[in-house]
């Protein structure tokens, strides 16, 4: 855990990023990557603080929360901070960690300078030793600083600065990152990059993973870790709002790369069958036989693990039997789409969850198998007294109703009869999901697809079943998703969306 000093340095960086005064901007700026060591374990980079400030100011106007004045000018006056280059990138960097008890010794902050001498003038900088100077940040916080080209390198310890400077002769991120990573960095405003290849090859990290695996009753193979190359989370602020990006790379030629390449991308919306309601969260993914075979192996192994059964207070033999059934079911999945949406006025409840699962075939048989799994779960698998009491009030009914011409199964939870559930709790659940409370519906729509709903009553299942039969992706055609989806690659294997606007409307309704 970072100590108090490092937390304050991080707070200063956040203030600088959020409040820096507007400046001329340069598109495709990659200055920070030219000094960021490729061997760094992780980096959080703001590509251009001036450009980000302009976007945040514009966003605050659209949200009707305009900033009345420049907070940074007040901050700079209070801290007597000068010499910052507004037209460059800022980064927090974690170098390879040598001492797990002192993570601060591997972390440094890069601040762009227009005038290094002016920036350090009020930091009580002492004479440099080995190029690193002790200084006082905010007048009271002991820190260490050094100049590296057009950047000030700041850390809570001299070791943090020295670790960064020691790597300056080695390749930088701009030379080592992939074409895709560099292209995304040039467009995104904030980038969190994890060098998984370096992190997972560390003997210290491998030892920790091995210890966790052994405690969980699992096994550990270092070769599996070598398949991961990097992972990145990015933030881009545009006219349509804030867009989050998640992307990763597998080591070329690895089993993970082969698995990823087994999925054929699609240029169509992956939100197949989902109605066009006001969504809060929506995702769609394409899979392959190879991908779901791997997931099948994982679920089967996890549910057969006696340690997992013990943690869940479950009968190990019964859970292993369920694991075999789940494993067989997962192996035949191919595509999945689901959404959490607000319901239109007059509908049952406020929220509805819709899900469409595409199987390789025999959806009717798969739906029946789900019912068998649920029956097994309710049939005494869990040994804890409170769990045994709860399952007495959960009922599964196969073929409970017919909607849109298909037979629908129901899983109904009688919350009002469960111990510990107050009348108010039950009324809140009914307000959220509808007067029938918690009722999950599922139905085989055709030979390949199974539809699932929670909330919204029979009407929501009827709507979903009719839409799946009809085909298409109405949710993928809504304005917000079309605008945001335009930032994604045309051919994709996964897409996910979160609507802040709809979430705010729902929270304040």
- Tell me the mean pLDDT in the region 360-367: 96
Using the Cα atoms of residue 134, residue 140, residue 141 and residue 142 in order, give the sign of their dihedral: positive
Structure token digits, residue 154 = 């700041």
- Tell me the mean pLDDT in the region 1-12: 45
- 12-16, 265-269, 467-471, 497-501, range with the lowest pLDDT: 12-16
b/e map of 119-155 (b: 16 or more CB within 10 Å)?
Answer: bbeebebeeeeeebbbbebbeebebbbbbbebbbbbb
In what side-by-side order are the strands of the sheet with 141-148? 133-137, 141-148, 151-155, 107-112, 90-94, 42-46, 190-194, 228-238, 241-250
- For residue 304, the 8-state DSSP code is T
Residue 14 reports pLDDT greater than 50:
no
- Tell me the mean pLDDT in the region 310-320: 92
- pLDDT bin (cut points 50, 70, 90) of residue 17 is very low
pLDDT in tens, 291-301: 999 999 989 98
- pLDDT bin (cut points 50, 70, 90) of residue 69 is low
Please tell me the predicted confidence (pLDDT) of residue 77: 63
Three-class SS state of 224: helix
Please tell me the predicted confidence (pLDDT) of residue 78: 67
- pLDDT bin (cut points 50, 70, 90) of residue 174 is confident
Please tell me the predicted confidence (pLDDT) of residue 224: 74
Indicate the angle between helix axes 49-62 and 4-19, nearest 10 degrees.
70
- Tell me the mean pLDDT in the region 69-78: 58
Q: Which of 116-130, 148-162, 459-473 has the highest mean pLDDT?
A: 459-473
- For residue 471, the 8-state DSSP code is -
Residue 74 reports pLDDT greater than 70:
no
Top pLDDT among 65 and 124 is at 124
What single string gives the DSSP state of each residue in 3-38? -HHHHHHHHHHHHHHHHPPP----TT--GGGGTSBT
- pLDDT bin (cut points 50, 70, 90) of residue 444 is very high
CA-to-CA distance for 9 and 143, rounded, in angstroms? Answer: 9
CA-to-CA distance for 365 and 352, rounded, in angstroms? Answer: 26
Yes or no: say if 458 and 433 are a contact pair by the CB < 8 Å rule: no
pLDDT in tens, 378-388: 998 999 999 99
Yes or no: say if 195 and 65 are a contact pair by the CB < 8 Å rule: no
Please tell me the predicted confidence (pLDDT) of residue 215: 65
Q: Which residues contact 183 (CB under 8 A, 6 or more apart)?
A: none
Cα three-residue angle 78-93-42, rounded to 5 degrees: 140
Residue 322 reports pLDDT greater than 50:
yes
- pLDDT bin (cut points 50, 70, 90) of residue 45 is very high
How many Cα neighbours within 13 Å face the side chain of 63?
A: 15
Structure token digits, residue 241 = 């709002």
Q: Which residues contact 164 (CB under 8 A, 6 or more apart)?
A: 37, 93, 95, 108, 148, 153, 155
Determine phi and psi for 135, rounding to 5 degrees: -145, 170
- 23-27, 126-130, 145-149, 481-485, range with the lowest pLDDT: 23-27
Please tell me the predicted confidence (pLDDT) of residue 338: 97
Please tell me the predicted confidence (pLDDT) of residue 220: 65
Structure token digits, residue 222 = 């270092």
pTM over 0.85: no
pLDDT in tens, 190-228: 999 999 998 988 888 888 887 777 665 566 677 777 888
- pLDDT bin (cut points 50, 70, 90) of residue 505 is confident
CA-to-CA distance for 60 and 278, rounded, in angstroms? Answer: 24
In the chain, count H helices and then E strands.
20, 17
Residue 23 reports pLDDT greater than 50:
no
| For the chain, domain boundaries | 4-196, 262-508
- pLDDT bin (cut points 50, 70, 90) of residue 76 is low
Please tell me the predicted confidence (pLDDT) of residue 21: 35
- Tell me the mean pLDDT in the region 79-88: 78
- pLDDT bin (cut points 50, 70, 90) of residue 73 is low
Residue 15 reports pLDDT greater than 70:
no
Average pLDDT, the chain: 85
pLDDT > 70 in the chain, percent = 89
Please tell me the predicted confidence (pLDDT) of residue 108: 93
User: For residue 56, which of 90, 7, 88, 14 has the smallest C-alpha distance?
Assistant: 14
């Amino acid at each position: 855990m970072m100590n108090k000093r490092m937390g304050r340095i991080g707070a200063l960086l956040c203030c600088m990023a959020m409040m820096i005064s507007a400046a001329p901007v340069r598109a495709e700026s990659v200055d920070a990557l030219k000094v960021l060591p490729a061997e760094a374990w992780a980096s959080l980079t703001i590509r251009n603080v001036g450009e980000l400030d302009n976007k945040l100011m514009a966003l605050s106007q659209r949200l009707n929360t305009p900033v009345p004045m420049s907070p940074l000018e007040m901050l700079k006056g209070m801290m007597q901070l000068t010499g910052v280059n507004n037209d460059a990138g800022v980064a927090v960097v974690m170098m390879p960690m040598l001492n797990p008890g002192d993570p601060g010794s591997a972390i440094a902050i890069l601040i762009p300078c227009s005038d290094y001498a002016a920036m350090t003038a009020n930091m009580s900088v002492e004479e440099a030793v080995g190029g690193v100077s002790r200084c006082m940040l905010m007048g009271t916080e002991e820190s260490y600083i050094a100049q590296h080209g057009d950047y000030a390198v700041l850390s809570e310890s001299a070791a943090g600065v020295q670790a960064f400077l020691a790597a300056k002769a080695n390749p930088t991120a701009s030379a080592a990152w992939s074409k895709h990573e560099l292209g995304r960095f040039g467009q995104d405003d904030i980038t969190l990059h994890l060098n998984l290849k370096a992190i997972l090859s560390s003997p210290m990290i491998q030892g920790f993973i091995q210890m966790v695996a052994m405690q969980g009753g699992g096994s550990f193979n270092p070769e599996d870790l070598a398949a991961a190359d990097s992972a990145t989370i990015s933030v881009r602020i545009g006219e349509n709002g804030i867009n989050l990006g998640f992307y990763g790379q597998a080591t070329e030629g690895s089993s993970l790369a082969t698995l990823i390449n087994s999925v054929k991308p699609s240029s169509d919306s992956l939100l197949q069958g989902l109605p066009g309601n006001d969504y809060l969260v929506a995702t769609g993914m394409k899979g392959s036989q190879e991908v779901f075979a791997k997931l099948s192996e994982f679920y089967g192994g996890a549910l057969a693990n006696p340690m997992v059964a013990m943690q869940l207070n479950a009968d190990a033999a019964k859970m292993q039997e369920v694991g075999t059934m789940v494993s067989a079911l997962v192996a035949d999945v191919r595509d999945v789409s689901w959404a959490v949406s607000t319901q239109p006025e007059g509908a049952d409840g406020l929220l509805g969850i819709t899900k469409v699962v595409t199987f390789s075939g025999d959806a009717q048989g798969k739906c029946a198998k789900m019912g068998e799994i649920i029956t097994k779960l309710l049939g005494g698998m869990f040994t804890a007294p409170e769990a045994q009491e709860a399952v007495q009030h959960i009922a599964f009914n196969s073929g409970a109703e017919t909607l849109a011409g298909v037979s629908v199964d129901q899983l109904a939870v009688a919350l009002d009869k469960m111990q510990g559930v107050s009348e108010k709790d039950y009324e809140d659940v009914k307000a959220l999901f509808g007067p029938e409370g918690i009722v999950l519906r599922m139905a085989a729509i055709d030979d390949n697809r199974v539809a699932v709903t929670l909330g919204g009553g029979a009407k929501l299942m009827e709507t979903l079943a009719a839409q799946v039969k009809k085909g298409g992706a109405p949710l993928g055609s809504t304005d917000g998703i079309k605008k945001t989806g335009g930032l994604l690659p045309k051919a994709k294997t996964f897409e996910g969306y979160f609507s802040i606007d709809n979430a705010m409307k729902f929270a304040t309704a």
